[in-house]
Amino acid sequence: MNKKELEKKKQSKKQEKLKRKENRKTNSGTKSFDDMIAYVDEHGNITDTPPDREKTAKIELESIAISTPKKEDVEYTPLNGRVEYFNTEKGYGFIRDVNSSEKYFFHINNAPASIAEGNQVTFDAERGKIGMNAINITLVK
């Protein structure tokens, strides 16, 4: 093929491409904005028909509550336990809950200085990085 034939072929492909583009525009049938709107009925279903204004229920503005429910006041009781392990050099230990027999980690900063293994204690539980920690530890006499 020579240069003229290649150029002619290129032009014919360009013309075909333009014709296809025009056909897509005319055949797609551009929709109006009203054809594209979707409505949601009272049950949450999407429809293409607008809702009937006469059938909609009237809602009083004052009846709409936007808030979180109040948290009920729960009387807090501290947990009871026994110091199962305590390392004085490293300053940490474990308390075993008397009722559930769960172990709680504690640090000397959250306990009295006179704490030792075998002491009966009361404490509060707090979620730590690894597990539950005992805080606000007091000795039971």
Q: Where are the alpha helices (DSSP H) in the chain?
A: 3-28, 33-36
What is the DSSP-derived secondary structure letter of residue 30?
A: P
| CA–CA gap between residue 94 and residue 105 (Å, rounded) | 5
pLDDT in tens, 82-134: 999 999 999 999 999 998 889 999 999 989 988 999 999 999 999 989 889 99
pTM for the model stands at 0.48
Provide the pLDDT confidence category of residue 51 given band limits of 50, 70 and 90: confident
Among 115, 118, 125, residue whose Cα is nearest residue 91 = 115
Q: What is the CATH number of domain 79-139?
A: 2.40.50.140
> Which residue has tokens 């429809």?
47
End-to-end CA distance of the chain: 108
Model confidence at 39: pLDDT above 80 = yes
What percentage of the chain exceeds 70 in pLDDT?
Answer: 97
Per-domain residue ranges of the chain: 79-139
- 3-state secondary structure at position 59: coil
pLDDT in tens, 58-80: 888 888 888 887 878 777 788 99
